[in-house]
């Protein structure tokens, strides 16, 4: 049995964790962006033992979406692959195709991938409401903006990135949106369908969690936070310099380009676990069989130490490479060995095989 993944996003963590638990790995790559997997982190073995890297076998396609062809799926089946979905997989491949026509078992919750799309009727916001979990207040009409808000919509040119911007009044909303429209950063259609939320002023914590159907327990494996361009460049500038920026530089972009690790003060840990437990219960009630394996609650903490969930990844989070191989203080201390999200996923597969419960961890 091999652990497979789309070669992007968090694939290195998935592959690293798999080889640590004794599995061979299979990465599906796109031509022109494959060298990370085919060269720089290619697995080398001596007598079966890994001495370098973590990616064993590679399938290179012209486009990621070609993974759906009968022939390419046949290659995955022939290699006895269990597939770990990441955001690149559900972004480059149509979710309906994944739900109905992808024949390879997914380690995780196939039907929950759709909930990540804000436009869906039963999106993660719908789940948060059902679970009575805290999230930023929605503003239905931009004319009602009377305090700092964030406007969430897609970037017009960068397929997977954000065209987010902030505004503290309707006047600022109009000025910034018109500027971004002129620059072709956003479109009128996306602006009309944008979600406007109260801005939570506070640090960001991405809670990298794991639910084991075998143990019926939730785990906090680690916490990461993001480096975003050009936002992080803006905050390093003195205020007078920020004010003097020209139109194209004034509004920062929220393109994630890296991650770092974090911990929470211990008095907040129980609150974090409660968030995870309520989310797991809601998914089990409304998206049977519910969340399986890795997921990420993306949160902000306000001045009164209240959590707000502003996004959810119902699969391996985008920041888990920061825990790759070394693990994270929480996962390591729980399992008494280096335990990243990728390794915990592979460890669950190994335990499921040993207990004859593979059917409980795949969909």
Q: Average pLDDT of the chain? A: 97
Closest CA to 280 of 289, 271, 267, 269: 289
Give the distance, in angstroms, between the CA of residue 230 and the centroid of all CA atoms in the same chain: 20
Q: Please say whether the beta carbons of 317 and 224 come within 8 A.
A: yes
Q: CATH assignment of 138-197, given 3.40.50, 1.10.3470, 3.30.1490, 3.40.1350?
A: 3.30.1490
Split at pLDDT 50, 70, 90, the class of 266 is very high
pLDDT at 188: 96
* SS3 category, 228: strand
Split at pLDDT 50, 70, 90, the class of 333 is very high
For the domain covering 2-106, report its CATH number. 3.40.50.20
* SS3 category, 122: coil
In angstroms, rounded to a whole number, what is the distance separating the alpha carbons of residues 316 and 226? 15
Which range among 29-33, 133-137, 250-254, 326-330 shows the weakest confidence by mean pLDDT?
250-254
Which range among 23-37, 86-100, 148-162 shows the weakest confidence by mean pLDDT?
148-162
Q: Please say whether the beta carbons of 37 and 55 come within 8 A.
A: yes
Encoding tokens for residue 186? 């956003």
* SS3 category, 7: coil
This prediction has a pTM of: 0.96
Q: Please say whether the beta carbons of 25 and 16 come within 8 A.
A: no
pLDDT at 345: 98
Encoding tokens for residue 114? 């759709």
Domains 2-106 and 138-197 share a fold: no
Q: Is the pLDDT of residue 160 over 80?
A: no
The mean per-residue pLDDT over the stretch 309-318 comes to 97
In angstroms, rounded to a whole number, what is the distance separating the alpha carbons of residues 30 and 27? 10
Q: Please say whether the beta carbons of 28 and 4 come within 8 A.
A: yes
Strand residues in 195-306 grouped as ranges (E): 195-198, 204-212, 217-230, 254-261, 293-301
Q: Which helix (H) or strand (E) holds 91?
A: helix 87-92
pLDDT in tens, 29-79: 999 999 999 999 999 999 989 999 999 999 999 999 999 999 999 999 999
pLDDT at 158: 86
Q: Which helix (H) or strand (E) holds 81?
A: strand 81-83
pLDDT at 245: 95
Which range among 226-235, 279-288, 350-359 shows the weakest confidence by mean pLDDT?
226-235
- Where b means 16+ CB within 10 Å and e means fewer, 314-342 reads bbbbbbbbbbbbebbebbbebeeebbbbb
Q: What does the domain layout of the chain look like in residue ranges? A: 2-106, 124-133+202-339, 138-197
Q: Which helix (H) or strand (E) holds 174?
A: helix 170-182
Encoding tokens for residue 357? 């419960």
pLDDT at 351: 98
Q: Is the pLDDT of residue 15 over 90?
A: yes
pLDDT at 1: 94
Own/partner contacts of 180-184, CB < 8 Å, gap of 24 or more, are 180/251, 182/247, 183/247, 183/248, 184/156, 184/157
Q: Is the pLDDT of residue 314 over 80?
A: yes
Q: Give one DSSP letter per residue of 284-318, joined into a string.
A: HHHSTT---EEEEEEEEE-TT--EEEEEEESSS-T
* SS3 category, 249: helix
Hey, what CATH topology would domain 124-133+202-339 get?
A: D-amino Acid Aminotransferase; Chain A, domain 1 (3.30.470)
Q: Is the pLDDT of residue 131 over 90?
A: yes
């Amino acid at each position: 049995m091999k652990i497979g993944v789309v070669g992007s996003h968090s694939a290195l963590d998935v592959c690293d964790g798999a080889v640590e638990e004794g599995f061979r790995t299979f990465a599906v790559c796109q031509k022109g962006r494959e060298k990370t997997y085919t060269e720089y982190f290619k697995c080398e073995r001596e007598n079966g033992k890994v001495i370098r890297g973590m990616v064993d076998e590679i399938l290179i396609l012209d486009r990621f979406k070609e993974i759906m062809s009968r022939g390419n799926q046949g290659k995955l089946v022939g290699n006895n692959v269990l597939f770990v979905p990441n955001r690149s997989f559900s972004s480059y491949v149509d979710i309906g195709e994944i739900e109905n026509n992808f024949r390879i078992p997914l380690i995780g919750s196939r039907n929950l991938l759709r909930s990540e799309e804000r436009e869906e009727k039963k999106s993660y916001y719908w789940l948060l409401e059902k679970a009575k979990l805290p999230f930023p207040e929605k503003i239905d009409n931009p004319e009602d903006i009377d305090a700092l808000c964030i406007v969430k919509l897609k970037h017009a040119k960068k397929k997977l990135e954000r065209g987010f911007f902030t505004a503290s009044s309707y006047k600022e909303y109009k000025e910034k949106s018109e500027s971004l429209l002129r620059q072709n950063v956003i479109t009128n259609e996306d602006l009309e369908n944008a979600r406007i939320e109260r801005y939570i002023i506070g640090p960001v914590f991405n809670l990298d969690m794991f639910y084991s159907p075998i143990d019926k327990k939730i785990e906090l494996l680690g916490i990461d936070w993001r480096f975003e361009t050009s936002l992080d460049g803006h905050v390093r500038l003195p205020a007078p310099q920020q004010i003097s920026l020209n139109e194209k530089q004034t509004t920062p972009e929220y393109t994630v380009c890296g991650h770092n690790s974090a911990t929470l003060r211990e008095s907040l840990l129980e609150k974090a676990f409660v968030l995870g437990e309520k989310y797991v219960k809601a998914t089990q009630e409304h998206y049977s069989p519910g969340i399986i394996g890795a997921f990420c609650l993306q949160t902000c903490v306000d001045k009164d130490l209240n959590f707000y969930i502003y996004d959810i990844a119902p699969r391996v989070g985008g920041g888990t490479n920061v825990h790759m191989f070394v693990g994270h203080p929480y996962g390591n201390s729980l399992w008494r060995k280096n335990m990243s999200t990728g390794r915990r996923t592979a460890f669950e597969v190994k335990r499921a095989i040993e207990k004859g419960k593979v059917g409980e961890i795949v969909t």
